[in-house]
Amino acid sequence: MANTFALILVILTFSTGIVWVIDKLKWGPARKAARQAAQDQASVGLDEKVLATIHPENIIIENARSLFPVIAVVFVLRSFLYEPFQIPSGSMMPTLLIGDFILVEKFSYGVKEPIWQNTLIPVGLPKRGDVAVFKYPEDQRVDFIKRIVGLPGDRIVYKEKQLYIVAACDADDCGNYKALDMQSLGEQKFKDEAAIMDVYTEILGEVAHKVIMNPNRRDAVGYYYQQKDVKTYAYEWVVPEGNYFVMGDNRDNSKDSRYWGFVPEQNLVGKAVATWISFEFYRDADGLLPTWVPSAVRFDRIGAIK
């Protein structure tokens, strides 16, 4: 769907742009000359309504010419600078909640063309701890949002709800796993979770962020993605070059790299940088109103994403 919209926006921008250019160079001057000739031949001054009937402008051309500046601004903003996204699931709780509307900085990981996401101008690479939007590798029509955990060459271990990372290293050092620093913040009940969750602060790279875990749910190791070209344990992965390992902050309710593998660099859309608005949605147990009806604005959630 996102690719379809991008394609439609590109087509609209270029088609209205072509009309705008032709009108500037040819059709517009022809209209002006015809109306000036009529004015010169008239014995009295002609008002704007009368002049508009002389060499009238096609309604399609008029609309295309008027819409082009607006569409062009939207195209540049959305394709190369910032794009809005809505959070549809709870996989990034408590960092992001259902109903958050976020801004994604498109140029953080390079300026890319909007259709196939090929990099035009290299700008930067993801850092450990970034919250990133990317094309889901198993269905590129779908946008996912997760946290960057593993960089190319890293060894990642997720065992008994503890995350371990060994940064790209020599073979002699790759067995020395170090658990990420975590501090318990106690228990909390979240609206979109059935159970009471354990809340922790986790240090990932230079980023301190919160994660939540369901103490009653065991790790689904049997469903974890298994690499065929690297000998690892079921709960261990080695991140290939040009790829990234991502996880949700809601560790027991996130479909992420543990289950489907790695995110190629080309799939990266951008870095989530801010929540610009957040809605609480009406929940009607009797089904009288749909659950997507906003019931309140969560002003306290507006701001930068960590």
> Are residues 213 and 200 in contact, defined by beta-carbon separation less than 8 angstroms?
yes
91 is catalytic: yes
3-state secondary structure of 51: helix
> Annotated catalytic residue: which of 106, 146, 271, 278?
146
- What's the Cα-to-Cα distance from 221 to each of 29, 34, 217, 233, 237, rounded to whole Å? 70, 77, 12, 10, 12
146 is catalytic: yes
Nearest in space to 147 (alpha carbons), one of 165, 158, 163, 132: 132
Q: In this structure, what token pair is assigned to residue 216?
A: 């009653």
Tally helices (H) and strands (E) across the chain.
Answer: 5, 18
Question: Hey, what long-range contacts does 236-243 have (CB within 8 A, 24 or more apart)?
Answer: 236/155, 236/156, 236/157, 237/150, 237/155, 237/156, 237/262, 238/153, 238/154, 238/155, 238/156, 239/150, 239/151, 239/152, 239/153, 239/154, 239/155, 239/156, 240/152, 241/152, 241/153, 242/152, 243/152
> Annotated catalytic residue: which of 91, 254, 257, 278?
91
Q: Show which residues are catalytic.
A: 91, 146
